[in-house]
């Protein structure tokens, strides 16, 4: 049993110029989460902190710098699961919260599991989370991409078109010293998405799942496909019988592709602190560290 942490920063056709920011942003986030774990902090705190770091990094499609929807607004989804208690918290369609993973944590700690849009923002205020103007989440780069999309709307949904339409969702899975597993995911969703469209990321079992008995997972990619196969739960269940998380991650992505023609990626950690990941897109930003490794390994 060892501590472990793995993050992803989205799966897709990440352009060459975006590779270094994605890789280094993932590395920084993993280092932040790892600091918490090595100082005896909880998996839940490590996941939250790592995801906050990536939400605050405009390189990623989460928090500030997210893709805009077809009306030019940022709409955020996030989720957090605690493998110790199976407590879960998620929010979707949030427009005025800087760090939706923090709001998901408050939901996890409440009697609810999932709050959306205006109700989620009201709940944020009740919990002392400041509401901001949506404009604060919109970066000049994303406004430019939105203008291009408006002039030339992305092709309708297809397995082929998905990898270039969306990437940069973030996620983290961690295992702490007490053997607790937690997982979190946060996204601005697909580029130029329909207003109100929600993908897999905030759906417990699809975009995120954790259970101390087995492990945890966070998914990224074409959300509609990931949802149809309930990918994160599928992968966590497949960790049974001490299966190697690397093999399980590969099998999960093969299942996604074979069953629904899906494209995307997944990160996994098992309750023993072993990690795995897989993707069938051109790239996936990720970073990880396990007990005894010394330094975070990052790639994209």
Binding site for ligand ASP (CB under 6 A): 10, 61, 166-167, 169, 187, 189-190, 199-201, 220-221, 223, 226
Closest residue by beta carbon to ligand ASP: 223
- Residue 94, strand partner residues: 76
169 is catalytic: yes
| Alpha carbon distance 62, 262 (integer Å) | 21
| Alpha carbon distance 143, 240 (integer Å) | 45
Residue whose CB is less far from ligand ASP, 126 or 141: 141
Instruction: Tell whether the torsion through CA atoms of 23, 199, 6 and 53 is positive or negative.
Output: positive
Cβ 41 to ligand ASP, closest distance in Å?
27
Buried-exposed string 36-52: b where 16+ CB fall within 10 A, e elsewhere: bbeeebbbbbbbbbbbb
Residue whose CB is less far from ligand ASP, 167 or 209: 167
Residue whose CB is less far from ligand ASP, 83 or 221: 221
- Residue 279, strand partner residues: 265
Q: Which of 14, 12, 23 is nearest to 286 (CA)?
A: 23
Q: Which of 238, 157, 233, 200 is nearest to 11 (CA)?
A: 200
Residue whose CB is less far from ligand ASP, 290 or 300: 300
Cβ 278 to ligand ASP, closest distance in Å?
14
| Alpha carbon distance 256, 229 (integer Å) | 7
Under DSSP, is residue 260 helix (H, G, I), strand (E, B) or coil? helix
Number of Cβ within 10 Å of residue 177's Cβ equals 17
Alpha carbon 239 to chain centroid, angstroms:
20
Alpha carbon 197 to chain centroid, angstroms:
17
Q: What are phi and psi of 128, to 5 degrees?
A: 80, 15
Residue whose CB is less far from ligand ASP, 41 or 63: 63
Cβ 190 to ligand ASP, closest distance in Å?
5
The catalytic residue among 38, 85, 113, 169 is: 169
Cβ 87 to ligand ASP, closest distance in Å?
22
Active-site residues, by number, are: 169
């Amino acid at each position: 049993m060892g501590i472990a942490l793995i993050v992803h920063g989205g799966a897709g056709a990440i352009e060459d110029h975006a590779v270094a920011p994605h890789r280094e942003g993932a590395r920084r986030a993993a280092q932040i989460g790892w600091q918490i774990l090595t100082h005896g902090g909880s998996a839940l705190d490590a996941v939250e902190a790592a995801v906050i770091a990536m939400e605050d990094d405009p390189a990623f499609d989460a928090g500030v710098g997210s893709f805009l929807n077809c009306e030019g607004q940022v709409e955020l989804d996030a989720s957090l699961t605690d493998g110790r208690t199976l407590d879960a918290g998620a929010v979707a369609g949030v427009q005025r919260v800087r760090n939706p993973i923090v709001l998901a944590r408050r939901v996890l700690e409440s009697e609810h599991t999932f709050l959306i849009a205006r109700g989620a923002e009201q709940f944020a205020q009740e919990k002392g989370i400041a509401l901001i103007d949506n404009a604060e989440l919109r970066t000049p780069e994303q406004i430019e991409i939105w203008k291009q999309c408006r002039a030339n709307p992305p092709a309708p949904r297809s397995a082929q078109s998905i990898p270039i339409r969306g990437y940069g969702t973030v996620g983290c899975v961690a295992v702490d010293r007490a053997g607790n597993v937690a997982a979190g995911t946060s996204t601005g969703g697909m580029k130029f998405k329909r207003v109100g469209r929600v993908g897999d990321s905030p759906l417990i079992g699809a975009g995120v799942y954790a259970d101390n008995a087995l492990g945890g997972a966070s998914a990224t990619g074409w959300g509609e496909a990931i949802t149809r196969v309930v990918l994160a739960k599928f992968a966590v269940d497949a960790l049974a019988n001490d299966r190697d998380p690397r093999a399980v991650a590969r099998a999960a992505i093969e299942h996604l592709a074979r069953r629904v023609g899906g494209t995307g990626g997944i990160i996994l950690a098992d309750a023993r602190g072993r990690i795995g990941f897989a993707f069938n897109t051109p790239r996936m930003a990720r970073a990880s560290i396990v007990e005894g490794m010394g330094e975070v390994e990052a790639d994209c």
